[in-house]
Amino acid sequence: MKLTDYRTLGRSGLRVSPLCLGTMTFGPDWGWGCDVAESHAMLDRYLGAGGNFIDTANIYTKGHSEVILGDYFSERGGRDHVVLATKFGGSLHPGDPNSGGAGRKALQQQVEQSLRRLRTDCIDLYWMHFHDPHTPIDETMRALDDLVRAGKVRYIGVSDTPAWQVVQGQHEAIFRGWSPFVALQVEYSLIERTVEHDLLPMAQANGLGVTPWSPLRGGLLSGKYGRNKHPHGEGRHVPGVSKSLTDRNYAIIEAAEAVAAELGTGVAQVALAWVLARPGVASPILGARTLAQLEGNLQALDLVLPMAMIASLDAASDPAPIFPHSFLKNTPHVMQSGATVNGVASDLWPLAPRTDAERW
């Protein structure tokens, strides 16, 4: 696979690369990102290989990420040839209750600020960054549709929002003739698979292309960590990682290490290839901090995992079922009573009547 093996995003005609370049690391303003030169080097490498999908947000590195992207394309050209995505919802103005969230006032102000920082007149994909419990979803969907009609946004997506709220927004839009969501952005990796309960099936049923963030679980699946590997020193707390160093996650890392050793590759490449192969996934988002990390991540495009290896990774990382799924897995025999439907077999239900005389 190559970055030029483009995929349409959800139920839309928007073509995107199978790996998206995430830019939350662009800018040192949060204390752990890369400088402008390294950011430009990663853009050069990604775009030079035919990549066309770039993801940022208004709040990333205090707005600097958007500025770096805007300056890059203003100086070097090529803006029209990329799918530039950014997000709204986060506040950059402490104390102002209308500077964040998904209300109309916040949304209209945030899009203008992002357009200015990105130095463009239209955002290709505009994400609702997270669920806003204080704003009715129909207000957000109408305000987004206004931006599409005004030519400031081309497509809209939704991130980090409960499945029921996404469906409500989607069907409000369809019923009223507004622009619907075309994509869903959620955390998804070998370690974080709970989205498989509701969010991923919902996305497939509603025509949303999935762009997973943190497919390496914040570096936990980078190959640096293991039961006897602590790159920052054993016992040292690393935000976002230390709390995830559990027996379950070590077992997942070891399963990925076994696959990587057999295929002659790295854990990061195995983890990315696994996500790339999941049903409904359009374009995982890479979060590299250095050009070397990006180079390693792009190698996942060359990796095809055999079904037996996928099965071993699935077994090691299988998430515990939640209600009602934990209950529903026991109901096929009640509904089908021994019949096979759409390839799903069932046993005879022992409590079902066996003769006409037993039926009331």
Give the long-range contacts of residues 104-107, CB within 8 A, separation 24 or more. 104/139, 104/140, 104/142, 104/143, 107/140, 107/143, 107/144, 107/147
Alpha-carbon distance values, 285 to 24, 43, 46, 85, 189 (Å): 10, 14, 12, 12, 11
CA distance 93 to 192: 32
CA distance 109 to 266: 44
CA atoms in the 13 A half-sphere facing the CB of 237:
2
CA distance 29 to 356: 75
Can 60 be counted among the known catalytic residues?
A: yes
CA distance 202 to 302: 29
Exactly one of 6, 46, 60, 126 is catalytic; name it. Answer: 60
Q: Which tokens go with 145?
A: 């549709």
Residues assigned a catalytic role: 60
